[in-house]
Structure 1
């Protein structure tokens, strides 16, 4: 479904009845449809869609650095379908969003539509110089631009959870005084879910490199890896395992073989932490909303011992923080 049709659907339908949430959705997340959850944000987008559009060259736009998408990772292969669509229609059907930058080197700054901008740029450089970028102009500040870009990015399947996490981490410090709860209220998401995305940024590159692509590092995998990574002894074992996995990924790629899946990478990294740790107790910090709220003592003989410190978090938020630790204990038991 196109962005425009989703906006029209949201405006026409209004709030909808709650529907079931996917099984991997965190507890405490409102049981509503995508449409009703994003209705307020789409109101802003719908207002812009109705504005008159202009045509400009991609070279007239700089790329706003506050968007989650990494422009350098875009490629012809990744955007082939979009390129073909824009070529067939002689332009992008859904406008991008820009704002004026009168004192900058280029007259416009692209807020929303990074993929469309890249695709038109590629077409201009490859035999279609007359295709222009359809855009609408908005006069908005960085915080509003971030929220609008976030609404669009949540519709896209080709933006990684890690890219979102890095974007959220930068935004919470830039626009919300480092307070995740304040940012969650503005984005209309749960604090715990926001913390899960930001938590991905704690995974070092030495571990990320084990995945065939950053697209394979889902936020649910962060739930399993982060409690282990925060233990220095575990981190060293995981980094050693990750180096072997990364080498195997490269070998498979050179032989045109199927890469190691994200789920298998996680299972192998987790298994690596259990080697040579029989009978030893591990202490793992419990974090929620960016703050430490307790500690877990993990012993193979006695199981898990939880110690919680006084805090202002809700029961659901505390349970969200505990869930990945319990899941990791189950994984280790199954792997013995």
Structure 2
């Protein structure tokens, strides 16, 4: 039960102690008033509880292993890491446990779980991590709510709006799923229920439709924010632009993977966005014909361009002042790998 409700009901239901009505007429009159007020207060409080005006909220101490995460929540549980939750983990340790309860609801028919988390996914992950890392007695603090799926979605959404670490992409895809699941594909109805601008919701839904191959070009899905994501979604309305963007995105994704493997910094989100939005230009050579491949440095500048591929060989252009010797060698290696993947390898 919330503390204010708890204190309020406790005050109404508490019996007055220590009064002796026989001491003086004044004290007797005071005692009569106290008894009358207490009786009325008790009846009023019980009536309010019975009517549902005041709800008792149960808080539980749970083993997080017996609690699953509701799939209707926006946050991607698989993306949570120790680094991502470090501040919360440190706070729980410093305070001797979780102070802010999560919201869960009871489930039936799952032999492995008794509850599911509606709001408090990071708290659940952090307590689970602590139990596996030197704090086996840590318990997951939760309050139980009786909610249908649509109400659970609205509650989770309200909490996530205040969380800067929930990415726009996560929320957008959560909205897209909820649109059909809870609102019959009616955007206006959904916007009204969530108290959102219809225009803003429309933009979020367009971002949600970005294909995974485009998202993979970014170092992390957290980098796909609403404004740049909407610009990409608009560009992809043109089929020819969409084809160019997905092609360049696949190239960037391979570059990101190579940088990660080598322990080097990822290509910044701003540079990825610029390359994707200029994809149709990047896929053309100086004569306007198709250019099968380009390799860029982490700042988005071209290092290597394929000018032509035919039976005689491959004509390659190395762009000046774009890399050091090692960078050019890496560009050539990536180019050859690309040609092999696309069936244009040097071996005929």
TM-score range, shorter chain: 0.5 to 0.7
Matched, 1:100 2:99: no
Residue 221 of structure 1: CA displacement? 1.0
Residue 277 of structure 1: CA displacement? 10
Matched, 1:109 2:116: yes
**More displaced stretch, 267-276 vs 218-227:** 267-276
Count of aligned positions: 234
Instruction: Report the secondary structure of 2:278's partner residue.
Output: helix
The equivalent residue for 1:274 is: 281
- Residue of structure 2 aligned with 1:80, choices 83, 86, 96: 86
Give per-residue Cα distances to partners, 1:211-230, cap 9 Å, x unaligned.
11001111111221112212
Residue 167 of structure 1: CA displacement? 0.6
Give per-residue Cα distances to partners, 1:15-70, cap 9 Å, x unaligned.
xxxxxxxxxxxxxxxxxxxxxxxxxxxxxxxx999935221110221211110111
The equivalent residue for 2:28 is: none
Structure 2's unaligned 5+ residue stretches are 3-52, 289-348
Residue 87 of structure 1: CA displacement? 1.9
TM-score under structure 1 normalisation? 0.65
Residue 253 of structure 1: CA displacement? 2.5
Higher Rg = 2
**d(CA) in 2 for partners of 1:159, 1:97:** 17
- Residue of structure 1 aligned with 2:175, choices 164, 168, 184: 168
**d(CA) in 1 for partners of 2:54, 2:244:** 51
**d(CA) in 2 for partners of 1:48, 1:246:** 54
Greater relative CO (CA pairs within 8 A, separation 6+): 1
**d(CA) in 2 for partners of 1:134, 1:154:** 22
Residue 186 of structure 1: CA displacement? 0.6
The 1:102/1:208 distance shift into structure 2, 3 A limit, reads closer
- Residue of structure 2 aligned with 1:212, choices 219, 227, 234: 219
Contact between 2:204 and 2:230, CA under 8 Å: does it hold in 1?
Answer: no
The 1:102/1:240 distance shift into structure 2, 3 A limit, reads closer
Structure 1's unaligned 5+ residue stretches are 5-46, 281-336
The equivalent residue for 1:265 is: 272
Show structure 1 runs of 4+ deviating over 6 A: 47-50
> Equivalences for 1:292-311 in 2 at 5 Å?
none
The equivalent residue for 1:63 is: 69
Matched, 1:230 2:237: yes
- Residue of structure 2 aligned with 1:182, choices 181, 189, 201: 189
**d(CA) in 1 for partners of 2:54, 2:73:** 18
**d(CA) in 2 for partners of 1:146, 1:180:** 15
The 1:218/1:48 distance shift into structure 2, 3 A limit, reads farther
The equivalent residue for 2:141 is: 134
Instruction: Report the secondary structure of 1:243's partner residue.
Output: helix
Residue 124 of structure 1: CA displacement? 1.0
Matched, 1:202 2:209: yes
TM-score under structure 2 normalisation? 0.63
**d(CA) in 1 for partners of 2:133, 2:239:** 50
